Homo-oligomer: A and B are copies of this chain.
Amino acid sequence: MTTQARAPKRWLAEVFVSLKPVVNDPQGLAVRDGLHMLGYKEVDAVRVGKYLTLTLTAADREAAEARVAAMCEQLLANPVIEQYRLQVSEADDAPGSQG
């Protein structure tokens, strides 16, 4: 019924979700003000987003990327105000499988 091309492998997906540039980021402003109060006057902008790491099973990298992109559209990011970027690597040779 299926082509059964390759055995499924484990993948580590890193997802970076950030507010779109036109969206206000009060949390980022608060962090920037905190840094200024601590003496880090050289900072002129801070934006705060989310960094998600997922481990999942998929036949190949393309399949893993497509599934994670679908997850972003449906749950992980709010496409109205947020943008996302993702990166998929093999779970075993990923340097920082700290997730």
Chain A residues within CB distance 8 Å of chain B: 8, 16-18, 20-21, 28, 31, 34-35, 38, 40, 42-58, 67, 70-71, 74-76, 83, 85, 96, 98-99
Given A51-B50, A75-B31, check contact A43 B56 (CB 8 Å): yes
- A selection of 18 A-B contacts at a CB cut-off of 8 Å is A18-B98, A18-B99, A20-B98, A21-B98, A31-B76, A38-B71, A40-B56, A40-B67, A42-B58, A42-B67, A43-B56, A44-B55, A44-B56, A45-B55, A46-B54, A47-B52, A49-B50, A49-B53
Q: How many chain copies does the complex carry?
A: 2
A16 touches B47 (CB 8 A): no
